[in-house]
Amino acid sequence: MRMMDLAPLSRSSIGFDRLFDLLDNAAQFEHPENYPPYDIEKTGEDAYCITLAVAGFTPEDLSITSQPNELIVAGERAKKGDGGQYLLRGIAGRAFRRQFNLADYVKVVGANLNNGMLSIDLVREVPEAMKPRRIEIANSNQPQIGANNNQPQIEAEAAA
């Protein structure tokens, strides 16, 4: 993998510290853990679904933890002394811990386990105070309504 120098971007960008940390951390992992396999799907304008293949796990074996900007899915199957003699053990049942970095204002709204597939629904809810808003620009060449210099003129017009 070719390394990129992000120093010029970080010098001219404000408030993107977390993004640069994520990129640095991603570059450190050469062979990420591939178990369990998962899909990330965009289901709407601000809605997402993460689906993990967790065959053999029950809801009691799984835990989902949502923290600010992070989602952790972990699984550990209860030890069963089934006493059977396996010739091949191809169904993975090992413990796992999978981390997902979440953008600001993304929260988990639900989870469902169906036919060995764990679906986690997420939605991004930006607070009204954080949404873009238009700022009006005052023109200093035009008199402003309610200013002291316009009050006599308004009173004179009202009397007429």
Tell me what pLDDT residue 112 has: 96
CA 121 – CA 108 distance, rounded (Å): 6
CB burial readout 101-122, b (16+ within 10 A) else e: ebeeebeeeebeeeeeebebeb
CATH of the domain spanning 37-78+91-133: 2.60.40.790
Tell me what pLDDT residue 123 has: 94
pLDDT over 80 at 49, yes or no: yes
Compute the chain's Rg from CA coordinates.
28
Tell me what pLDDT residue 9 has: 62
CA 72 – CA 19 distance, rounded (Å): 19
pLDDT over 90 at 53, yes or no: yes
What's the pTM value of the predicted model, to 2 decimals? 0.64
Q: In whole numbers, what is the pLDDT of the chain averaged over residues?
A: 79
Amino acid at 117: M
Confidence of residue 77 (pLDDT cuts 50, 70, 90): confident
Domain residue extents for the chain:
1-32, 37-78+91-133
